[in-house]
Structure 1
Amino acid sequence: MLFRPNAALPELPSIPNTVPLVDFIFENKHGRCPLTESLDPYVCGISGSSISAVAQKQRVNQLARALQEELGWQVNQGKSLEKVVGIFALNNIDFMTVSHAILRLNGVVSPYNIEELTHQLRTSRCKALFTVAPLLPVAVPAANAAGISRDRIFIIEMTADQSLVETRLGFKTVEQLLQRGEILKELPPILWEQGQGARQTAFLCYSSGTSGLPKAVMISHRNVIANIMQLTLFDLADRLKIRPDFKDVVLGLLPQSHIFSLIIICHLSTYRGDTVVVLPKFQLESYLRTIEKFTIHTLYLVPPIIIAMINNLKTLSRFNLRSINRLWIGAAPLAPEVTSVLLSRYPSWNITLGYGMTETCVCITSQTPQDIVLGSSGWILPGFEILLLDESGNRISEYDQPGEVLVKSPSVVLGYLNNDTANLETFFEFPEGRFIKTGDVGKFQMTASGVEHLWIVDRIKELIKVKGHQVAPAELEDCLLGQPSVADCAVISVPDDRDGEIPKAFVVKNGKCSEQELQNFVQERKVSYKWLRGGIDFIESIPKSPSGKILRRLLRDRERARISAKL
């Protein structure tokens, strides 16, 4: 059985496959909110400086002209994957100016994070790098190791004073390139063959996929356009309900290099005419001050920020947060118990969860304010189809039956760069078309509203097998987070001579509690094979990725080291 979108949602129209993403974003004929001088797509949450939509388009063209001169690339010559430019930067209002300038040259953008930068530069075959002054100590050695010359490292200015320092260091800045591009001749239009938008890579983003080390994901122009259209249709009724001409003010706090931010905050917001207030990093008081100052309406967040808010409710109470209407949570699971705590203090907030992955060019399902069910990942977006397969590979057609989630959509990516093994393990052909294995275990339920919701139970590789029973770590983590003295937690499997594997918890305390109290708490709520027979360790913090995913591998390594020390 294929699970499909709610029939009440608009159907997804044909996705353009000859339109470059940069044209789709900046040309009114493709359905975007019309460009005007009064429309500010990006505002710096620190300085208050902004770029109008019209100015941004001009800056993209000027920067593209300067880069053509600097790099010696021609718009309609050379293969796109031979024109890869990296961005390794803190959030800033010119991140997308740089991205679209690279796309305007028919090039490929590869946004990086601080982990394994040299590996990413090498595997993407990056030819030039944009960074910011605070990251130069990391960027320059990594670029040197990857064979990128110093004259191909460019600086995105984050403050006026910083540009003076950067100039003395000998790196060209974006502002200098813009000045040069202003006097250079216009670039020719991008000329594409039929279907090229579906074949040509726009972004190389890094993901571990269902297993293994981070791999370069080839995201086509059409993939991004598809998810923009899917999300636009999905949110249409909610936005019209607020006001027919509604334009949102959203927080741009999540790293722009992360797929969640790159597609939903950076691209979708621009297309819809929303304003993104950009912050370079999370610091609780400046974050709250920015919400208050700019009367932000929508927060795109990850679970660690929600947990920080819950642990600092007194600090939150000092700020006027009445402008907030919606919190859109993604990138990692959020326990219903955590959501309930925040809603008890701010009942008017609509806290909605979304589910997606880099390989689907992000969003697959999302909750909507009109139908919020705590713990669910919401409705299937228009244009998506989902298969659930049990452990034997059989299709699941019933509700409340968990299975691996496989997804079909025009936003499903081209594949992994130069990695045939990973592609064969991840992408599959079915009679209905090409699907991607997500590595996630999910189930569908029909809610009281009469709409199917998807619940993500856990990751397949994280499931604990106790006497043949499958135990999802996330289920036990959600249970523990319902205990008031638990601030954060993670559950892993540990070996057991009798049962094969048993669950063990690592807990960050938010008050006084003993191991026995927590053991009793779980035993009162879960069947015996889900009890924490592996024990409970109290630790200072749970290791997590920047997006909030629990790094259980590090906890398993810690446990193995502890066991080895005893031998």
Structure 2
Amino acid sequence: MLPSKLCLHTFYTAKMVFLPPSCAGELPAIPDNIPISEFMLNDHHGRNNLQDSRDPFTCGITGKSYSWPQVAERVEYLARAFAKEFNWAPNKGTEWDKAVTVFSVNTIDTISVCWATHQLGGMVSPANAAYSAPELKYQLLDSQAKVLFTCVPLLSTALEAASLAGFPKDRIYLLEVPTQLTGDTRVPVQYKTVSQFIEAGQALPKLEKFHWEAGEGARRIAFLCYSSGTSGLPKGVMISHKNVIANVLQIVAFEKSHRDTLTAPGGRPYTEITLGLLPQSHIYALVVMCHLGPYRGDQVIVLPKFELESYLTAIQTFKIVCLFVVPPIIITMLRNHDICSKYDLSSVKSLYTGAAPLGMETAEDYQNKYPHTTVRQGYGLTETCTVVSSTHSNDVLLGSSGVLIPGVKVRLVSTDGKEITSYDTPGEIMVQSPSVVLGYHNNEKANKETFENGWMRTGDEAIIHLSPKNTEHLFIVDRIKELIKVKGLQVAPAELEAHLLTHPAVADCAVIAIPDEAAGEVPKALVVKSASVEKDDERTIQSIKTYVEEHKARHKWLRGGIRFVDVIPKSPSGKLLRRVLRDQEKELRRCAGAKL
């Protein structure tokens, strides 16, 4: 018997719309007149009671932890101190007047800085900790940042970027990190720290209460996250307060039926200990780990970066129940099973992966090695403020990105613009959701290409497949868009191509993704050599690789190599024919016996 939902589809003649299944739950009303900080810091908006909640953020290296009352107090003191230091007020100016960039490894204070900024009506633009100085310079300028928070390990890069951008050094401040990350390097006295802001805030008067009209939370930007979207150079994604609040409530509603079956000692609401390893600048971590987890009372164990043994030690020490990871971490665990087996990982009941698709074979391999752990997968984008679909605990189908969460509608459209009206037929994913963002900052061309008549074009190709339980599962097939994902981090071919074309040996070029067992994908450059280039190909290749490594973040390096070609195939309009190049590369790999 087919799901009753299919009956609804018969009413859509021009557009076949896929909807969440009944097991996904009901989405409650989404407040649109409060900032995220108000939503997170009190019990008035459906969140888990503060007294029944675990410490929201705990350092996985030192064990340092803050309770909810401490976090709320620290946010208040930070907001007061920011107001005085920067001459900001809750009800004066726009979010662009109070733009803060955060360029740091993960810390237990990062989100407090964000919420304090939100209390003042400001916005936060998280920057990837792997950025080079020119990349950070671009974001500082494009986001119109007024303040920069960084950390000692990244201070030299931040200072170089500030110099390139003409950004004032007296507006650079420090998030504190464990001494294990700084070594003998002391905190420079000329840079004020979060702790010093908090100390100053204790002696300052309370701020005036912010006042937002209905709908203001849907219009005001909370985060300006950078994404390459469906193509091109990084663009600032304008994420409203309501977008984040909506996705948190969507996921809570989606998982309510499962969590309601679980209880904590004394009959209190169920909460769990989760992993906070993924970069807090990435939308996956920013929403799911930094907001969803604390909202429902979970404890997030914060780690600054992935190192296998420190990661395993944190799981064993803190008895982590849920691992939020990306496929390369899963692959690393499988390839180093002998090391993993030395640690007690029995506390882990759930592994949740996202940012890039996890293949069915890899999921099965992990499930076989860790049978007590449920492997779950989700799909989403920065432009959808994270989750669109997720594995439901009662309907696990390995290789699937799960079912649609409450409030989401999806269409699939073929490359020639026709609506997909059948299962197992690939098409580009089009999304409607209350979490779909406001658009791209200062980029009307990209907005027109991506946001169309209330639908968001994802650039991802998928099929809808009916599971044994008669529910519609989303399977990601390919990316129509040009993005390359290296360990879940985005690499825009256009960005690398623009850089390569400034090298004297490069007359023309194209960058494509090739498979990599550890990273998922890595960039490879197809290069047409300049007429004047020397004949020593190996020397030229090394020169081009070094040129990229000196200017770009590590995940953008040409780890897939460089191949010289006579011509880059292009359409009559001049657009690169990447699919031709990918097919050529795939055939070369097949002939060489490599994995496809």
Q: TM-score normalized by structure 2?
A: 0.78
| Corresponding residue to 2:156 among 127, 137, 144 | 137
Mapped pair 1:272 → 2:296 = yes
Q: 1:562 to 1:342 in 2, by over 3 A?
A: farther
3-state DSSP class of the match of 2:44?
A: helix
Aligned to 1:103: 118
Pair 1:185-2:205 in alignment: yes
**Partner Cα distance (1:137, 1:340) in 2:** 43
3-state DSSP of counterpart to 1:333: coil
Give deviations 1:52-102, integer Å, cap 9, x for gaps: 001000000100110111111111111112210011111111111111011
In the superposition, relative to structure 1, how do residues 344 and 437 fare at CA in structure 2: closer, same or farther (>3 Å)? Answer: same
Aligned partner of residue 29 in structure 1, secondary structure = coil
TM-superposed CA distance for 1:185, in Å, is 0.5
Secondary structure of 1:43's aligned partner: strand
TM-aligned CA deviation for residue 159 of structure 1 = 3.3
- How big is the shift at 1:336? 1.0
SS at match of 2:239: strand
Corresponding residue of 1:68: 83
Structure 2 counterpart of 1:33, one-letter code = N
Matched, 1:224 2:250: no
**Structure 2 Cα separation of the partners of residues 386 and 15 of structure 1:** 20
CA distance, structure 1, for counterparts of residue 113 and residue 184 of structure 2? 20
Residue in structure 1 matched with residue 463 of structure 2 by the alignment = 443
Q: Secondary structure at the match of 1:242?
A: coil
2:310 counterpart residue number? 286
Question: In the alignment, does 2:235 pair up with 1:215?
Answer: yes
- Residue identity matched to 2:148: L
Partner residue, 1:357: 381
Check the 8 A contact 2:24/2:404 in 1, yes or no: no
Q: How does 1:278-317 map to 2 (within 5 A)?
A: 278-317=302-341
What amino acid does structure 2 have at the position aligned with 1:315? Answer: I
What corresponds to 2:351 in structure 1? 327
**C-alpha separation between the residues in 1 aligned to 2:372 and 2:183?**
43
Q: Deviations over 1:405-446 (max 9, x none)?
A: 0000010000000111100000000xxxx1100000011011
Q: Among 29, 51, 71, which residue is 2:44 paired with?
A: 29
Change beyond 3 A, Cα 1:89–1:462 = closer
| Equivalent pair of 2:25/2:256 in contact (CA under 8 Å) | no
Check the 8 A contact 1:404/1:460 in 2, yes or no: yes
Deviations for 1:427-485, whole angstroms, at most 9, x for unmatched residues? 000xxxx110000001101111111101110111469xxxxxxxxx99xxxxxxxxxxx
Bigger shift: 293-302 or 77-86? 77-86
**Distance (whole Å) between structure 2 residues aligned to residue 247 and residue 27 of structure 1:** 17
Q: How does 1:115-134 map to 2 (within 5 A)?
A: 115=131, 116-134=135-153
SS of structure 1 residue aligned to 2:563? helix
Greater RCO (CA < 8 Å, at least 6 residues apart):
2
Contact 1:250/1:300 (8 A) holds in 2: yes
Does structure 2 conserve the Cα–Cα contact (< 8 Å) formed by 1:407 and 1:437? yes
Higher deviation after alignment, 242-251 or 400-409: 242-251
1:239-269 Cα distance to aligned partner (Å, 9 max, x none):
1223272101001000111100000000001
RMSD of aligned Cα (Å): 2.7
Q: Is the 8 A contact 2:20 2:403 kept in 1?
A: yes
State the 1:167 CA deviation.
4.9
Q: 1:201 to 1:560 in 2, by over 3 A?
A: farther
* In structure 1, distance between residues paired with 2:99 and 2:203: 25
Q: Secondary structure at the match of 1:85?
A: strand
Equivalent position to 2:431, from 407, 420, 432: 407
- Please give the secondary structure, in 1, of the residue aligned with 2:195: helix
Q: Say whether the 8 Å CA contact 1:36–1:52 is kept in structure 2.
A: no
Provide the residue aligned with 1:149 in structure 2.
168
Partner of 1:558: 562
Percent identity between the two aligned chains: 44
Cα distance, 1:316–1:343 mapped onto 2, change above 3 Å: same
1:440 alignment partner, SS class = strand
Cα distance, 1:377 vs structure 2: 0.6
- The aligned counterpart of 1:174 is 194
Flag the 1:179–1:40 CA change in 2: closer, same or farther, 3 A: same
1:361-440 correspondence runs (5 A): 361-429=385-453, 434-440=454-460
In 2, the alpha carbon distance for the partners of 1:267 and 1:254 equals 14
What code does the residue aligned with 1:181 have?
A: G
Question: Which whole-Å CA distance do the structure 1 matches of 2:359 and 2:396 have between them?
Answer: 14
Q: Name the residue aligned to 1:40.
A: 55
1:183 and 1:157 map into 2 onto residues whose CA distance is 21
Question: Displacement, 1:200?
Answer: 0.5
Residues 180 and 507 (structure 1), Cα distance of their counterparts in 2 relative to 1, 3 Å cut: closer
- CA drift of 1:562 comes to 9.5
Match of 1:49 in 2: 64
One-letter amino acid of the counterpart of residue 275, structure 1: Q
Aligned to 2:72, what secondary structure does the other structure show? Answer: helix
**Distance in 1 separating the partners of 2:297 and 2:53:** 11
Which amino acid counterpart does residue 133 of structure 1 have in structure 2?
Answer: V
> What is the deviation of 1:504?
10
Matches within 5 A, 1:500-511: none
User: Structure 1 residues 143, 504: CA separation in 2 closer, same or farther (over 3 Å shift)?
Assistant: closer
How many Å separate the matches in 2 of 1:437 and 1:164?
49
Aligned equivalents of 1:184, 1:340: Cα separation in 2: 56
Post-superposition offset of 1:554: 4.5
Measure how far apart 1:505 and its partner are.
6.3
1:13 aligns with 2:33: no
1:140 deviates by: 1.1
What is the Cα deviation at residue 559 of structure 1?
2.8
CA displacement 1:190-236 (0-9 Å, x = unmatched): 11122111110000000000000110000000000000000001111
Contact 1:325–1:350 (CA<8 Å) still a contact in 2?
Answer: yes
Write the letter of the residue equivalent to 1:17.
D
Q: Does 1:87 align with 2:66?
A: no
CA-CA distance at 1:550 after TM superposition: 9.2
How far did 1:343 drift? 1.4
